[in-house]
Amino acid sequence: MNYNKKSIEDIDVRGKKVLLRCDFNVPLKAGKITSDKRIVAALPTIRYLLDHGAAVIACSHMGKPKGEWKPELSLAVVAARLSELLGQEVLMAKDVVGEDAQAKAAALQPGQILLLENTRFMKGETKNDPELSKALASLADIFVNDAFGSAHRAHSSTAGVADYLPAVCGFLIQKEISIMGKALSDPARPFVAILGGAKVSDKLNVINNLLEKVDTLIIGGGMAFTFLAAQGYGIGKSMLDSEKLGYCKDMLQKAQEKGVKLLLPVDTVAAKAFPDPIDGPIETVTAPVDAMPEDMLGLDIGEKTRQLYADAVRAAKTVVWNGPMGVFENPTLAAGTIAVAQALAEADAVTIVGGGDSAAACEQLGFADKITHISTGGGASLEFLEGLELPGIACLQDK
Ligand code: ADP
Ligand code: MG
């Protein structure tokens, strides 16, 4: 994939109507926004466009209304919050491409902003229906995509509309592709990737692709046990992807052929049962991986493994991390994830965190501001690491 895409700084937006795809898919509880992080993240692009004399027609999806008109998923709450944050009025359209949106878009002046209704109220959105794409395009002169979290989807408002309008990226997507794109195409070395989380099967293609690029691949979390089992270790009652044993063997062999160091846990923090509730009290033992008690399951990496992984991270010049090292939701089982987050924070390296739970862990643990880049898209950042072409980025003009 070409990561060298035109941004809003490469074109003249003055006097133009700009259709801006944002990621306003904010969490709601009882009709109230519980985190406005995504709205705040969109501000630099919006302000730039308004300050440079564009009229901004913003759009986004929220939730999964599946083509139905669901008032509880109206973007009106986003318009209200955005207006507070911007300190100016945000006009709200009653529909997506209907009469109200058309009239308000047509009347919109430079420096003004209009928000369209939830794009997924339209059946055509997730089908990438050309009629909807054309209707969206007819509202504006330029398309700007800044919704990285949806860039792995080929929908009308994320990619289809670019068939009918000149298309460039905003600052959020620009940052994602410049930092992650560089890490994957021309990384400062040593390049270390750390993968964790629950299952091997969630990250199959990521492992395969990263083995083509990294110097060291570190594996932790639940997925490490399938690798350990593939090496012949007893893993007790630990999480096992039994269908993926062969795949893990192939990956171990591929790492050897490519000269990639593949690090697996040497010890694990184990317990008799998965904690219930997940953050409830739990009794643990630390066991070396060649002496795992049969009646226990591994729930975090042990002390020696923490040291080993942290040392590898600290020696790196580029680090990509996706997936926690243990059941970090439980304070007794968070030490492995903390050790890795801390090593990332301390490393003199470009550090990138992708994946919802890993990003949340960095924030909860207070390391977020010491990480070069925390990706805003879980699924999108995984597909990025898989080396896949993301439709919402591929559709933008090359530099
Ligand atoms: P991300 O969202 O960062 O990509 P994942 O969703 O793949 O991460 O995985 C996160 C989940 O993996 C967490 O809920 C965590 O509790 C779980 N997990 C980590 N280690 C283990 C383990 N050893 N056994 C079971 N589950 C684990
Ligand atoms: Mg997750």
With a 6 Å cutoff on the Cβ, whether 355 touches ligand 1 is yes
- What pLDDT is stored for residue 148 in this prediction? 94
Q: What is the pLDDT of residues 367-397, one digit of tens each?
A: 999 999 998 787 888 888 888 889 999 999 9
Q: Which ligand is nearest to the CA of 203?
A: 1
127-163, pLDDT tens digit by residue?
A: 999 999 999 999 999 999 999 999 999 999 999 999 9
- Res 387: pLDDT: 83
136 and 97 Cβ atoms separated by less than 8 Å: yes
User: Which residue's CA lies nearest to atom 7 of ligand 1?
Assistant: 197
**Is residue 326 in contact with ligand 1, taking CB distance under 6 Å?**
yes
Q: Whose CA is nearest to atom 14 of ligand 1?
A: 327
* pLDDT score for 262: 98
Indicate whether residue 65 lines ligand 1 (CB < 6 A): no
Residue that the structure tokens 């795992």 belong to: 292
Contact 81, 23 (CB under 8 A): no
Place of tokens 């600052």: 171
Give the active site residue among 199, 249, 272, 370. Answer: 199
Q: Nearest ligand to the C-alpha of residue 323? A: 1
Tokens of 102: 């058309």
Q: Is 66 a catalytic residue?
A: no
* pLDDT tens sequence for the chain (399 residues): 788 999 999 999 999 999 999 999 999 999 999 999 999 999 999 999 999 999 999 999 999 999 999 999 999 999 999 999 999 999 999 999 999 999 999 999 999 999 999 999 999 999 999 999 999 999 999 999 999 999 999 999 999 999 999 999 999 999 999 998 888 888 999 999 999 999 888 888 899 999 999 999 999 999 999 999 999 999 999 999 999 999 999 999 999 999 999 999 999 999 999 999 999 999 999 999 999 999 999 999 999 999 999 999 999 999 999 999 999 999 999 999 999 999 999 999 999 998 778 888 888 888 999 999 998 787 888 888 888 889 999 999 999
Q: Which residues neighbour 97 within 8 Å (Cβ) at sequence distance 6 or greater?
A: 116, 122, 132, 135, 136, 138, 139
Are 380 and 152 in contact by the 8 Å Cβ rule? The answer is yes
Helix, strand, coil percent content, the chain, rounded in steps of 5: 40, 15, 40
Query: What pLDDT does residue 315 have?
Result: 96
pLDDT score, position 322: 93
Determine whether the shortest distance from the Cβ of 220 to ligand 1 is under 6 A.
no
Q: What is the pLDDT of residue 354?
A: 87
